[in-house]
Amino acid sequence: MTSTDNTPHLRADARRNRDRIIAAARTAFVDRGIDVPMEEIARAAGVGVGTLYRRFPDRDSLILAVGRDAFQRVRDDAHRATDDEPDPWRALTGFLHTAADLRTVVRLSMLSPRARSILSSDPDVEALRNELLAVLDRLVRAAQDNGSLRADVSAGDLAMVMSLVAQGVNGMPEEMRRDAAARYMTLMLDGLQASPGTPLPGRAVTIEDLSRVRHAASHAE
């Protein structure tokens, strides 16, 4: 498994502080946008403002850390799904249900062109995204090979499904959002099973299609 975490090795207490800051920033950015005062993030993390700025000298570096952390979490979930579950369909669906951290990236990108630009231009984020799509592609092919996943969908299609679910639930009130992703992903997955199934219009979305769309969007900003 490759790693794109360029964080220097930290003492245990420094690592805990960094993790608390990222967790607090993730919640604040998703709930209130990226302009939340840094002092509030430090307070929510239980650290001093000086500690926050030693770890993250500016807001952009904190936004990038939150995005990288989200992709790393989803990447790790994908590898666990591949390694720990021998049944291809359960491995695929288990991963899709646990990929909730992608909602962080989707939410940031939807709410802030600045955050979208920071994340889309970072080579580490790009590497994590590509690794994640490669793992998803292997899960999709394995589920199709054993006949559990319909043959006319692709990893790109499932990536689009995940994005649509994430975008759709982000605007809901908290009490509805808590279970919404699992609910609607379950509905989507029922339609992805090999049988029964209605023929799909159009063609499958490829990983290359996703890359072209992403690059076109970043150049249009």
Higher-scoring residue by pLDDT: 104, 136:
136
Tell me: do 186 and 87 sit in the same domain.
yes
Looking at the structure, tell me whether residues 30 and 110 fall in a common domain: no
More confident residue, 127 or 108: 127
Same domain, 14 and 115: no
For residues 169 and 59, which has the higher predicted lDDT (pLDDT)?
59
Inside any domain, residue 3: no
Cβ–Cβ < 8 Å for 40, 59: no
| Contact predicate 135/207, CB 8 Å | no
Alpha-carbon span 76 to 95, nearest angstrom = 10
Dihedrals φ, ψ of 193, to 5°? -65, 150
Tell me: the pLDDT tens digits for 60-91? 999 999 999 988 988 888 888 788 889 999 99
How does pLDDT run across 181-194, given as a tens digit for each residue? Answer: 778 888 888 888 88
Whether 2 is covered by a domain: the verdict is: no
Shared domain for 86 and 36, answered yes or no, is: no
Verify that 19 and 104 share a domain, yes or no: no
Indicate if 97 and 138 belong to the same structural domain.
Answer: yes
pLDDT at 178: 67
Is 4 contained in some domain?
no
Burial environment of residue 165 by CB neighbours within 10 A (0 to 12, 13 to 18, 19 or more): buried
DSSP, residue by residue, the chain: ------PPP--HHHHHHHHHHHHHHHHHHHHH-TTS-HHHHHHHHTS-HHHHHHH-SSHHHHHHHHHHHHHHHHHHHHHHHHHH--SHHHHHHHHHHHGGGHHHHHHHHHH-HHHHHHHHT-HHHHHHHHHHHHHHHHHHHHHHHTTSB-TT--HHHHHHHHHHHHHHHHTS-HHHHHHHHHHHHHHHHHHHBSSS-PPPSS-PPPHHHHHHHHHHHHHH-
Quick one: pLDDT at residue 37?
A: 96
Give a yes or no: residue 1 inside a domain. Answer: no
pLDDT over threshold 70, residue 10: no
Domain residue limits at 91: 58-220
Query: Is the model's pLDDT at 213 over the cut of 90?
Result: no
Judge whether residue 49 has pLDDT over 90.
Answer: yes
User: What is the pTM (predicted TM-score) of this model?
Assistant: 0.78
pLDDT exceeds cutoff 60 at 156: yes
In total, how many domains does the chain have? Answer: 2
214 and 136 inside one domain? yes
CATH number of residue 159's parent domain: 1.10.357.10
The pLDDT value recorded for residue 138 is 92
Residue 204's pLDDT is 83
Please report, for the domain that includes residue 46, its CATH number.
1.10.10.60
